[in-house]
Amino acid sequence: KNQVEQSPQSLIILEGKNCTLQCNYTVSPFSNLRWYKQDTGRGPVSLTIMTFSENTKSNGRYTATLDADTKQSSLHITASQLSDSASYICVVMGHGQNFVFGPGTRLSVLP
């Protein structure tokens, strides 16, 4: 069964600290893996898209990694800011338009 799991479910950190969010998937065949940021009451915004051959991709303070062999991805946030408080969603695209969404990690950054 195609699934995407994310951990932790929620996370609280202090402003300025780093954190890492995890994503494990069983989607096959694999096309690409995406990380989205979703602010409360808003639509998701794309952070990164990674294909099979990409191990690391950065977007400002966000760095995503992908290990296609173990089917794991991580999203590392450096020097967190209050505006980073949001849900972070891992999405794996399989065959056709088969998007499998993870449940998300709710991040709260406190001053």
Binding site for another protein (CB under 8 A): 4, 31-32, 41-46, 49, 51, 89, 91, 93, 96-97, 99, 101-104
Q: Which residues contact 26 (CB under 8 A, 6 or more apart)?
A: 1, 2, 3, 4, 71
Residue 18 or 108 having the CB closest to another protein: 108
Nearer to another protein, 50 or 109 (CB): 50
User: What does the alpha-carbon distance between residue 51 and residue 66 come to, in Å, rounded to a whole number?
Assistant: 9
Closest separation between CB of residue 20 and another protein, Å? Answer: 21
Q: Which is nearer to another protein, 51 or 56 (CB)?
A: 51
Alpha carbons 14 and 65: distance in angstroms, whole number: 23
**Nearest-approach distance from CB 94 to another protein, in angstroms:** 10
CA angle 23/24/29 to nearest 5° reads 120
